[in-house]
A and B are shown apart, each in its own frame.
Chain A
Amino acid sequence: MADAHRREWAFVLAATARVARDIDVAEECVQDAYVAALDAWTRQGIPRNPGAWLTTTARRRALDALRRDRTLRAKLPLLIEPGALAGPAGPDAADPAAAGAAADAPDDLIADDRLRLVFTCCHPALAREAQVALTLRLVCGLSTAEIAQAFLVPEPTMAARVTRAKKKISAARIPYRVPGAAELPDRLDAVLTVVHLLYTTGHTAPAGPDLVRADLVDRATGLARMLAELMPDEREVRGLLALLLLTDARRAARAAADGRLLLLEEQDRSRWDRAAIREGTGLIARMPGPGRAGRFALQAAIAAVHAEAPSYTDTDWPRLLRLYDELLRAWPTPVVALNRAVVHAMVAGPGAGLADIEGVERDGRLAGYRYLPAAKADLLRRLGRREDAARAYRAALDLTAGDAERAFLARRIAEVSAGPPGAV
């Protein structure tokens, strides 16, 4: 129920923001509409389409606010597209009680509004953490308290972050629109990055007792699904949704009953979510149009290889290595190079992978990244270099705050320190 309310709230806000031309004003109008609904629905009963009723009411209030201040209207072309303001004869001026009948028409508009809002929230002129917070607040409808809790920061800090970002949108006039074709690839990449960041934060919580924060993961998957519906021709959007579905399919198998983190090779593959895997691989199989795969589509293809492998040893490692080579070309980051090194080790032996990892280490950009010493330790362990392995595991442990990951590393240290000589 709370979730339905939240979803409705986000839709109504997106539709109102374009009329109000200011996100704060839009939020107030939506608030007013909910208060009005409480009264009107008690007297007249719940309308056939409550969302349309709320949207019409909120947008009318936004229009009233604008009419009250004509000078403001002249000065604030902020959130407005030419022709977007419906005149007195338009649906905005219709009686809210009759809105149910006109509810079909504005659906497209509302869909566009949600897309506009996402691009505004993820504008490159806003700091990444502000982009994430605004998207959760305005597009997903989470409260500031909920967002603060998700990112483990005090509520006043998160409230200040959201307020500051909204002020910048208004004062600097960050436009409320979907970017044109020339800018779209870059701007879309920023949106997808925010959704992916949301997902990874939830997928492996950076600190605390729970490995997965289901709320964030579900929120991110929901956003990716919404984007895929609104932008069906964008390969990277589809790639992101597939990536999230295929990664999340492993959720139930990632930790043992005692909370212990399980590696891919230890997971019980019968516990993987087959429906999610089917949906993810289906999305990859039906990529729209020609063109080279971007980083999200390639990561999805990589996740699909894992998802379809009957076991860890029976994974198509040479195919994975080819995909990682392609990914490294599309997205040359040290994290990708590190992951490629692990796959290279599976194809050409731990020595080859170790040489790659040492190269990434010399690059220096991944200093402080906990998965680098962890991956290195694993290869050293497989090479039988137990003391070096223990040292690398300890380095990884020093960089890790999540309880489940810490327990895993401590277990590995105990293994390489205690076991019989030779490979472990």
Chain B
Amino acid sequence: MTEYLILIYERESGYAESGPEVFQQVGEAHNRFAAQVGEKGGKILGGNALQPTATATSIRDDVVTDGPFAETKEALGGYYLIEARDLDHALEIAKLCPARFGGVEVRPIMDVSMNMPG
């Protein structure tokens, strides 16, 4: 099994302009997703939703600035750490991940023990 991070990128304005029913629907979608991952033979190792980028603080060369690292139309808004057999399996799972106002990116977790020099 390999670990993958599913990064959820969405237009924040999508949520800002939506009412509470949308939040409820999205919450239910994520609950459904959590159940589906197990049915697909994968495993969720962790995951969280993030506060909007308006709350972000960036640091570069010790200089602290208000805002996200890069201003983008679709911002990182949450993630899941999952375990899957291979990329095909991870993509099958990630396709089920809710991202109503955007999409998701799948990144394999680096196995540091195998990438040590020597």
- Give A contacts to B, CB under 8 Å: 72, 75, 77-78, 123, 125, 171-175, 179, 183
Contacts and interface: CB of A to CB of B under 8 A. Distances in A.
A75 B114 contact: yes
Interface string B70-89: 00000000000000011110
B31 interface: no
B110 interface: yes
7 contacts: A77-B86, A78-B86, A125-B91, A171-B110, A173-B108, A174-B87, A183-B88
Contacts of A175: 85-88
Contacts of A75: 111, 114
Given A75-B111, A173-B86, A174-B86, 9 more contacts: A78-B86, A123-B87, A125-B87, A172-B87, A172-B108, A173-B87, A174-B87, A174-B88, A183-B88
Interface string B95-108: 00000000000101
Contacts, number: 27
Nearest to A79: B86
Interface of B: 2, 85-88, 91, 106, 108, 110-111, 114
A172 B110 CA distance: 9
Nearest to B92: A183
Contacts of A78: 86
A389 B33 CA distance: 58
B57 to A, nearest CB: 31
Nearest to B111: A75
A80 B108 CA distance: 18
Contacts of A72: 114
Contact of A173 (B2, B110, B114): B2
Nearest to A124: B91
Nearest to B109: A171
Nearest to B88: A175
A45 to B, nearest CB: 42
B93 to A, nearest CB: 13
Nearest to B89: A175
A194 B7 CA distance: 29
A8 B111 CA distance: 35
A174 B88 CA distance: 7
Contacts of B110: 171
Nearest to A177: B88
Contacts of A173: 2, 86-87, 108
A78 B2 CA distance: 10
B112 to A, nearest CB: 12
A244 B87 CA distance: 32
B110 to A, nearest CB: 7
Contacts of A172: 87, 106, 108
A35 B110 CA distance: 34
B113 to A, nearest CB: 8
